[in-house]
């Protein structure tokens, strides 16, 4: 008989609907990019004529108020938009289309398999008054798990966070359930859980010496059990606090966004949720549009047994902001090595992340003002 260990099992169910949902969600990023392009097309078109003195003055100021730039009939420069996109609390609307790919390993058998996650994030600010903004992040996920539901017999209430960024197959460790004959046999792909993060932030950052800035934001997060299959989500409604701190210097951008989730409702047969997600940022600017660094996610599941709580990646990558028509688009590729992984549970050993982020100044959207 196989040892009883930390593996999930789920009720068999057809995955065809989940595959359709995965396709639709993957296409949503492309459709939304067109939306951004249409909105951005409302900015004045460039001409071969020399810019006016007023526009030239705006172009020379990388920290110019882009609302005033647009009102004057001028176009933001690529450098201005790239600087604005560096600011996670800035007055910019962004659509993150992100793909993560992980090599997973079972420490007992040393078998390996690959997990993929598509994550879409629509981020947009909302002006509350002259002093405060609310930064909204709407997140949806499409995980692809190296497990086949139809081949796992017993139901295990262990959750999987669709955007767990490599923190294990299930997001739940240390449970005592029978292991299937072949852990990495088959695949389940579909819509995962969805999330909302709201950060209240001052309209103006704290100014430091040398032109540096300190960004501060705090708020809350919500998790919705939208997963099509048990293995792809928690089955729970979750909520918790969130906070962001970031140093933005002339060259270095360093900080982190932390979110914590506790469950407060949902399927009573599913495991409790008590999870921290810390996405840290460390980038060095090579010039106005290029940088090196990474923004991995440290995942800690506090319901796990000792030694199996956290996955800690170290990363390095390259990002570049380019102009596509009237739309600035940031692209990046990162490689992550997991310095800390669960001792006894399935976890990621390395991962790659690729993202494409079109952006537009929030001044283009009246409802954001």
CA–CA dist 262, 236 (Å, integer): 9
Domain 4-368 class, CATH top level? mainly beta
Spans of all domains in the chain:
4-368
* Separation in Å, CA 205 to CA 90, 132, 246, 250, 258: 9, 11, 10, 15, 19
C-alpha to C-alpha distance for 19 and 189, rounded to whole angstroms: 6
Coil, strand, or helix at residue 259? strand
CA distance 308 to 62: 46
CB 247 within 8 A of CB 270: no
Nearest C-alpha neighbor of 71 from the set 306, 364, 304: 364
Per-residue burial over 173-192, b = 16 or more CB atoms within 10 Å of its CB, e = otherwise: bbbebbbbeebbebbbbbbb
369 residues of the chain, pLDDT tens digit each: 333 333 333 333 444 454 555 555 555 554 454 455 444 444 444 445 567 777 877 677 777 777 788 878 888 889 989 999 999 998 899 999 999 999 988 887 788 889 999 999 999 999 999 999 999 999 999 999 888 766 654 544 444 444 444 444 443 333 333 444 455 778 889 999 999 999 999 999 999 998 899 999 999 999 999 998 888 899 999 999 999 999 999 999 999 999 999 999 999 988 999 999 999 999 999 999 999 999 999 999 999 989 899 999 999 999 999 999 889 999 999 999 999 999 888 888 999 999 999 999 988 887 776
Q: So what's the pLDDT on residue 145?
A: 87
pLDDT value, residue 14 = 41
DSSP codes of every residue in 20-78: HHHHHHHHHHHHHHHHHHHHHTTSPPP-SSPPPHHHHHHHH-TT--HHHHHHTT----H
Classify residue 61 by burial, with Cβ atoms within 10 Å: 0-12, 13-18, 19+: exposed
The rounded distance, in Å, linking the Cα atoms of 50 and 21 is 49
Contact assessment for residue 202 and residue 215, using Cβ atoms and an 8 Å cutoff = no
pLDDT at 11: 37
Tens-digit pLDDT profile for residues 189-208: 999 999 999 999 999 999 99
């Amino acid at each position: 008989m196989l040892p009883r260990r930390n593996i999930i099992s789920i009720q068999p169910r057809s995955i065809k609907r989940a595959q359709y949902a995965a396709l639709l969600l993957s296409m949503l990023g492309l459709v939304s990019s067109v939306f951004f392009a249409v909105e951005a097309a409302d900015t004045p078109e460039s001409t071969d004529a020399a810019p006016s003195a007023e526009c030239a003055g705006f172009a020379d100021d990388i920290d110019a108020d882009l609302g005033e730039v647009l009102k004057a009939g001028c176009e933001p420069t690529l450098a201005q938009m790239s600087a604005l996109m560096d600011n996670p609390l800035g007055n910019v609307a962004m659509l993150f289309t992100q793909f993560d790919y992980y090599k997973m390993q079972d420490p007992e058998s040393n078998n390996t398999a690959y997990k993929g996650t598509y994550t879409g994030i629509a981020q947009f600010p909302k002006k509350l008054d002259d002093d405060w903004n609310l930064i909204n992040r709407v997140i949806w996920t499409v995980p692809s798990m190296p497990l086949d539901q139809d081949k796992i017999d017993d139901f295990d209430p262990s959750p999987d966070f669709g955007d767990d960024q490599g923190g294990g197959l299930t997001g739940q460790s240390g449970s005592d359930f029978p292991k299937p004959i072949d852990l990495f046999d088959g695949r389940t792909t579909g819509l995962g859980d969805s999330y909302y993060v709201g950060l209240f932030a001052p309209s103006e950052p704290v100014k430091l010496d040398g032109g540096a800035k300190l960004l501060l934001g705090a708020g809350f997060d919500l998790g919705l059990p939208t997963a099509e299959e048990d293995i792809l989500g928690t089955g729970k409604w979750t909520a918790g606090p969130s906070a962001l701190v970031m140093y933005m210097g002339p060259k270095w951008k360093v900080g982190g966004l932390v979110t914590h989730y506790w469950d407060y409702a949902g399927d009573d047969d599913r495991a409790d949720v008590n999870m921290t997600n810390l996405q840290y940022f460390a980038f060095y600017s090579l010039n106005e549009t290029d940088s090196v660094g990474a923004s991995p996610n440290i995942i800690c599941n506090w319901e796990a047994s000792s030694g199996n709580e956290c996955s800690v990646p170290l990363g390095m990558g390259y990002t570049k902001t380019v102009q596509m028509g009237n739309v600035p688009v940031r692209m990046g590729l990162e490689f992550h090595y997991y310095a800390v992984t669960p001792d006894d549970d399935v976890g990621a050993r390395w991962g790659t992340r690729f993202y494409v982020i079109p952006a537009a100044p929030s001044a283009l959207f009246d409802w954001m003002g």
